Amino acid sequence: MSHPIQLVILITTLPGRGREQVEAYERLAPIVRAEDGCLQYDLHRVTGDPDRFVLIERWSSKSALAAHDATPHMIEADAASPAFRAGPAEVIELTAAPLA
């Protein structure tokens, strides 16, 4: 049996380039949300820092996440992001169930 996958992704853009991250997300979000197995795909700005973001993703299974990672739109987005990001995003996978 497959369990949902929840990711917290920490993103930092180059100074003053946060708007480019938002614009890239706005183009990508409707496409990703329409993918099979996408349960959540939400970008949040870190309060007080216009160049830091948290992306929360939930997928129905590891296979749905793997399919997402292999889509042409994600490959293209990953190739374009170094132009405005300070470095690679930090991807944190959470356990399936809360501890308490």
pLDDT value of residue 76? 97
Per-residue pLDDT of the chain (100 residues; tens, 9 = 90+): 578 999 999 999 999 999 999 999 999 999 999 999 999 999 999 999 999 999 999 999 999 999 999 999 999 999 999 999 999 999 999 987 778 8
Q: Which residues of 27-49 are buried (b: 16+ CB within 10 A; e: fewer)?
A: ebeeebeebebbeebebeeeeee
Query: DSSP letter string over 10-59?
Result: EEEBSTT-HHHHHHHHHHHHHHHHTSTTEEEEEEEEPTT-TTEEEEEEEE
Tokens in use for 80?
């374009």
CB atoms within 10 A of CB 62: 14
pLDDT value of residue 5? 96
pTM (two decimals): 0.92
Interatomic CA distance for residues 41 and 59, integer angstroms: 9
Q: Do the beta carbons of residue 7 and residue 92 sit within 8 Å? A: yes
